[in-house]
A and B are shown apart, each in its own frame.
Chain A
Amino acid sequence: MKNLEKIKEKYGTHTPYTLPENYFEGFNKKLLESLPPKPEKRAVRFDLWSIAKPLLYVAASLAIAMWSISLLLRSEDQTTQPDSSHIMAIDNEHDAEAVSLNLAVDDYSLYEYLNEESAQ
Chain B
Amino acid sequence: METNEKELIKELQNQKTVKQAFSKIVPLYSEKLYWQIRKMVASHDDANDLLQNTFLKAWSNIESFRAESKLSTWLYRIAVNETLTFLNKQNSFSKVDLDNEESSLVNKLESEEWIDGDELQIKLQKAILRLPDKQRLVFNLRYYDELKYEEISEILGTSVGALKASYHLAAKKIEEYLTTTL
Contacts and interface: CB of A to CB of B under 8 A. Distances in A.
Contacts of A27: 30, 34, 48, 51-52
Nearest to B122: A16
Given A1-B171, A27-B48, A17 B59 contact: no
Chain A interface residue number, banded: 20 to 34
Interface string B138-154: 00000110000000000
A78 interface: no
Interface in B90-129: 112, 114-118, 120-125
A28 interface: yes
Contact of A16 (B18, B125, B171): B125
B57 to A, nearest CB: 12
Interface of A: 1, 3-4, 7-8, 10-20, 24, 27-28, 31-32, 35-36, 38, 40-41
Interface of B: 15, 18-19, 22-23, 26-27, 30-31, 34-35, 38-39, 42, 44, 48, 51-52, 55-56, 59-60, 112, 114-118, 120-125, 143-144, 168, 171, 174-175, 178
A18 B116 contact: yes
Contact of B59 (A8, A13, A35, A41): A35
Nearest to A8: B143
A38 B18 contact: yes
A15 B126 CA distance: 11
A44 B44 CA distance: 46
Contacts of B44: 17, 19-20
B93 to A, nearest CB: 23
A32 B59 CA distance: 10
A16 B121 contact: yes
Contacts of A31: 26, 30, 52, 55-56
A36 B22 CA distance: 12
A18 B171 contact: no
5 contacts: A15-B125, A27-B51, A28-B26, A32-B22, A36-B60
